[in-house]
């Protein structure tokens, strides 16, 4: 059961997911204990370094410019501002800072240069640095690696089949191409998805097939529960149950035994007992802090109290992979190429996304 495989089928994964719960938990916990320290959890802090105004139409996202939400946009943060936030995160027990920018894709220029300096600064604090900046080219990935980036996040979001019902402004293949570009550097991959967007169980299995088929598999897989935000196309979707989250975590642990499985968005809706079941089932990473980019998250003090109750310890930085070296910009082997890659725009129409867009127009006109 704990064998590392890249040829899982959807049928096999569904059989695991639908096992009697106690049997599923036992199997997942057995795999987890064979590959990981069950009492250690990696703690990351997610920081929105540029919020709102994104040109994409992701049906779940309040940062899309075309929808009307209460998100306050902000321009790219300064390096010293990010450093202060990183130091605060480190003092509260986080070993990793993940910086997110609401961009469709990275564009060479002053803003990307500023992000590279942020990466250098945080790596020098002896913290793991992760970025989620949208699609990136091979050269951009190598520039991030030189700066000291530890991980790059690029979620598949859902199955390839259901993807076209969530997003119309980019293709599933763009996600895979970006992950491939990251793999051409020495940066680790963080890639997962969201459950509770109206997908079928087959889509959850399909997403795990896609992730587990990657070779190597992602070092980190975030499992998010949809946080339905007013103004987005998915605002009326009911939250999933804790049992669905537990099953998804347990199945992910079995299918990708060496990966760190991260409890991500949606934890505010989970009781401590529910989260404890997820940890037992194989989750060994969380996002800490009161916000995940723009959505609520449990307070870090609450998390540390929960860790104490459960006997869990925060993982130290660079436990899995050694700390990258930082190359200063003046010594960089890779320079800006001024690239303008042709990332795809499939152009099909998603009815609920269009309805949310029209609703936002009416609100702005009022």
Residue list, annotated binding site for [4Fe-4S] cluster: 54, 58, 61
CA max distance for the chain: 59
Given 253, 262, 267, 278, the catalytic residue: 262
- Report which DSSP code applies to 237: P
Distance of CA 98 to the CA centre of its chain: 9
Given 96, 120, 130, 267, the catalytic residue: 130
* CA 297 vs CA 59, 73, 252, 303, 342: distances in Å: 20, 19, 22, 10, 35
Q: Which DSSP string corresponds to 143-173? A: HHHHHT--EEE---BS-HHHHTTT-SSS-HH
Given 96, 143, 190, 253, the catalytic residue: 190
Give the integer Cα–Cα distance in Å for 99 and 86.
10
Give the integer Cα–Cα distance in Å for 286 and 244.
18
Our CA dihedral for 176, 178, 181, 182, rounded to 10 degrees, sits at -100
Distance of CA 26 to the CA centre of its chain: 26
Please give the backbone phi and psi of residue 83, each rounded to the nearest 5 degrees, phi first: -60, -45
Residue 131: active-site member: no
Residue 278: active-site member: no
The residues pairing with 96 across neighbouring beta strands, listed in sequence order, are: 44, 128
Q: Residue ranges for the binding site?
A: 54, 58, 61, 98, 130, 190, 262
Question: Which runs of E-coded beta strand occur in 57-116?
Answer: 96-101
| Residue 334 token pair | 């890779």
The residues pairing with 135 across neighbouring beta strands, listed in sequence order, are: 105
Q: Residue ranges for the binding site for [2Fe-2S] cluster?
A: 98, 130, 190, 262
| Residue 88 token pair | 């605060």
Write b or e for each residue in 58-96: b if 16 or more Cβ atoms lie within 10 A of its Cβ, otherwise e. Answer: bbbbbbbebbbbebeeeebbebeebbebbeebbebbbbb
Give the integer Cα–Cα distance in Å for 209 and 72.
36
Residue 185, C-beta contacts closer than 8 angstroms, at least 6 positions apart: 138, 141, 142, 144, 145
Which residues are part of the catalytic machinery? 54, 58, 61, 98, 130, 190, 262
């Amino acid at each position: 059961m704990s064998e590392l495989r890249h040829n899982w089928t959807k049928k096999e994964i569904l059989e695991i997911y639908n096992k009697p719960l106690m049997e599923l938990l036992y199997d997942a916990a057995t795999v987890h204990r064979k590959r990981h320290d069950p009492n250690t959890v990696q703690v990351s802090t997610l920081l929105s370094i540029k919020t709102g105004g994104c040109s994409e139409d992701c049906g779940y996202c309040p940062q899309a410019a075309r929808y009307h939400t209460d998100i306050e946009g902000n321009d790219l943060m300064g390096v010293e501002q990010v450093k202060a936030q990183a130091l605060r995160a480190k003092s509260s027990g986080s070993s990793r800072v993940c910086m997110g920018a609401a961009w469709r894709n990275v564009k060479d220029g002053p803003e990307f240069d500023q992000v590279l300096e942020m990466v250098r600064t945080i790596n020098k604090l002896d913290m793991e640095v992760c970025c989620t900046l949208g699609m990136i080219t091979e050269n951009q990935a190598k520039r991030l690696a030189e700066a000291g980036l530890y991980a790059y996040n690029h979620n598949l979001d859902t199955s390839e089949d259901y993807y076209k019902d969530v997003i119309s402004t980019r293709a599933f293949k763009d996600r895979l191409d970006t992950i491939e570009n990251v793999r051409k550097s020495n940066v680790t991959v963080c890639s997962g998805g969201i459950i509770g967007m109206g997908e079928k169980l087959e889509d959850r299995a399909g997403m795990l097939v896609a992730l587990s088929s990657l070779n190597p598999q992602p070092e980190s897989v975030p499992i998010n529960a949809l946080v339905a935000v007013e103004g987005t196309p998915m605002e009326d979707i009911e939250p999933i149950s804790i049992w669905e989250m537990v099953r998804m975590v347990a199945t992910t642990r079995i299918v990708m035994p060496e990966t760190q499985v991260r409890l991500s968005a949606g934890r505010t809706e989970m009781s401590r007992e529910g989260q404890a079941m997820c940890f037992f089932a194989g989750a060994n990473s969380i996002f800490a802090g009161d916000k995940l980019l723009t959505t609520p998250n449990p307070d870090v003090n609450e998390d540390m109290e929960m860790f104490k109750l459960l006997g869990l310890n925060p993982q130290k930085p660079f436990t899995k992979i050694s700390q990258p070296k930082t190359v200063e910009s003046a010594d960089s082997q890779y320079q800006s190429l001024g690239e303008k890659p042709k990332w795809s725009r499939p152009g099909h129409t998603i009815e609920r996304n269009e309805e949310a867009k029209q609703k936002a127009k009416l609100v702005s006109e009022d």
